[in-house]
Structure 1
């Protein structure tokens, strides 16, 4: 669900002191997007929104969440935005965020 190796690479790239700032920005931005699509998503922009979420997720190692976003993005691109099931995407993000934050707090990140 979480690519801890990617997180280690990111920490090395930006430095451990600045990493919490990146995490805070990521969580704030993704939480805001999640809230916007959780109610009544704009089907015309859903593919673009899922694409943006996928990119953010990959940058911070949320691999399972990124995979679900990509599946939804592709379905929307094929004209099936109305068929994208957001519940599994939203649930995966919530679970991934909990695991990630617990791992960071408990120093499980390598």
Structure 2
């Protein structure tokens, strides 16, 4: 689910000293985007939220999230009758986030590690 080459590319781009802060910022933003994503908001708002989430996920190497966002964006753009699968996106995001953090055990601050918990709005919908 994680494109580790992209994670290493990000580390190289921002420098090892800035990498933890950049990853933490991306995770805070993606957590907030997931919490704010409302499947009932209408196609334009959902498409906009998915586009933002896809961009952040691309930067973090979250392949599964990127793939689902692309699929859902295409469905929203073409007016497909296939309903938005919020549960699959949420599950994929949380699993990808956990895998990313597990692969970076000593680099990311504890408050970021623990911010997407079972009580989070990310998964309480």
TM-score between the two structures when normalised by the length of structure 1: 0.88
Residues 1:104 and 2:70 aligned together:
no
1:13-32, Cα deviation, whole Å (9 max, x unpaired): 11111011111111111111
Partner of 1:105: helix, strand, or coil? coil
1:58 alignment counterpart? 58
Distance in 2 (CA, whole Å) between partners of 1:81 and 1:47 is 15
Q: Distance in 2 between matches of 1:25 and 1:76?
A: 28
Instruction: Tell me the matched-pair count.
Output: 106
Corresponding residue for residue 113 of structure 2:
none
Larger helix proportion, structure 1 or 2?
Answer: 1
Provide closer, same or farther for how the CA distance between residues 67 and 105 of structure 1 changes in structure 2, counting only shifts above 3 A.
same
Q: List 4+ stretches of structure 1 deviating above 2 A.
A: none
Matches within 5 A, 1:1-110: 1-37=1-37, 41-43=40-42, 44-80=44-80, 83-105=83-105
* TM-score scaled by length of structure 2: 0.78
